[in-house]
Amino acid sequence: MPAPFEIIAAPFVAYYAELGEPFPSVTEEPAGNWVMIGTSGDESYDPEGVQVTHSQDVNLVRPLGSTAPVKAFRREEDLVVAFTVWDVSLEAYRVALNGNPIQTVAAGVGTPGTKALRLYQGEQVATMALLLRAQVSPYGDEMAMQYEVPYCSMTGNPEVVYRKGEPAGLALEFSALKDPNAATKAESFGRLVTQHQLPLP
């Protein structure tokens, strides 16, 4: 009996990039404009992990002459990615605040170097591409899988709590938006790509 590779217990690491950034293949390290969320990747995440939710609103149609539904219509669907990052560096914090720019001032004689992040987000909600990568596959060892979300926004409401003996975290929640540049309607939310074979020698 083969090993139950389909049972997965592995952390995912999240990356973001500007819209239109090409997704790497599952065998390539994210490079170019892909930015890892969290200074240390999955070692910066809350142990609850990365949650991917596929929600929907389905209308089950029941005619007068039947107690059971005879057809279903999907009225709404959502794809949401959520996780908490234990990282309050401004590079991580800016993801929670509409991607606001970091203003850096170098140290001078008698003055400290500082970084500043605007807390006001404004009316326009920033959009981005999101990549979730794990070094595991439901088809075998030494393989990988990734979620590719080409168009999304950070729609969560992080509450940063600073207290003694507990890490401060940013609860991030990314909601997929319909990709206006998707090749087909079926790819509106992107793809889940899993490696199922090793490269040929």
Is 18 domain-assigned?
yes
Count of domains for the chain? 1
Contacts of 111 (CB under 8 A, 6+ apart): none
Is 112 domain-assigned?
yes
Question: What is the distance in angstroms between the CA of the first residue and the CA of the last residue of the chain?
Answer: 27
User: Are 98 and 125 within 8 A, CB to CB?
Assistant: yes
- Residue 163 has what pLDDT? 94
Among residues 195, 190, 197, 183, the alpha carbon closest in space to that of 52 is found at: 190
Say whether 41 sits in a helix, a strand or coil.
Answer: helix
Is 178 domain-assigned?
yes
Is 3 domain-assigned?
no
Given pLDDT bands bounded at 50, 70 and 90, which one contains residue 3? confident
Is 42 domain-assigned?
yes
Q: What is the mean pLDDT of the chain?
A: 95
How many helices and strands (H and E) does the chain possess?
Answer: 1, 10
Is 48 domain-assigned?
yes
Enclosing domain of residue 39: 13-58+72-194
pLDDT (tens digit, 9 = 90+) per residue, 65-105?
999 999 999 999 999 999 999 999 999 999 999 999 999 99
Average pLDDT estimate for 166-179: 96
Q: Give CA–CA dist 201/199, Å, rounded.
A: 6
- Residue 199 has what pLDDT? 87
Is 187 domain-assigned?
yes
Among residues 18, 13, 14, 12, the alpha carbon closest in space to that of 151 is found at: 18
Quick one: what percent of the chain has pLDDT higher than 70?
A: 99
- Tokens 């590079």 sit at which residue? 91
Average pLDDT estimate for 154-165: 95
For the chain, the maximum distance between any two Cα atoms, rounded to a whole number of angstroms, is: 85
Given pLDDT bands bounded at 50, 70 and 90, which one contains residue 141? confident
- Residue 72 has what pLDDT? 97
* Residue 13 predicted with pLDDT over 90: yes
Is the full-model pTM beyond 0.75?
Answer: yes
Is 199 domain-assigned?
no
* Residue 167 predicted with pLDDT over 60: yes
- Residue 2 has what pLDDT? 65
